[in-house]
Amino acid sequence: MKKSELIARKMPNPDAFSKMLGVWRFQEKKIVFTNGCFDLLHLGHIDYLAKAKDLGDILVVGVNTDMSVTRLNKGKNRPITDQQSRATLLASLFFVDAVVLFDEDTPYELIKTVQPDVLVKGSDYKPEEIVGYDVVTAKGGMIKTLDFLEGYSTTLIEQKILKGC
In a domain, 44, yes or no: yes
Nearest to 68 by CA among 40, 96, 35, 25: 35
Mean pLDDT of 99-125: 96
Question: Residue 77: pLDDT above 90?
Answer: no
Question: Residue 125: pLDDT above 80?
Answer: yes
Question: Residue 91: pLDDT above 90?
Answer: yes
Residue pLDDT, tens place only, 11-44: 999 999 999 999 999 999 999 999 999 988 999 9
Question: Residue 153: pLDDT above 90?
Answer: no
Q: Which residues are catalytic?
A: 74, 76
Domain tally, the chain: 1
CATH number of the domain encompassing residue 132? 3.40.50.620
Mean pLDDT of 63-76: 88
In a domain, 148, yes or no: yes
Question: Residue 72: pLDDT above 80?
Answer: yes
- Asked whether the beta carbons of 61 and 38 are under 8 A apart, the reply is yes
In a domain, 25, yes or no: no
Domain span at residue 63 reads 3-17+30-162
- Asked whether the beta carbons of 153 and 78 are under 8 A apart, the reply is no
What pLDDT sits at residue 156? 72
Helix spans in 27-153 (H): 43-53, 66-71, 83-91, 108-114, 133-138
Calculate the average pLDDT of the chain. 93
In a domain, 23, yes or no: no
pLDDT bracket for residue 165 (50, 70, 90): low
In a domain, 24, yes or no: no
What pLDDT sits at residue 161? 74
Question: Residue 152: pLDDT above 90?
Answer: no
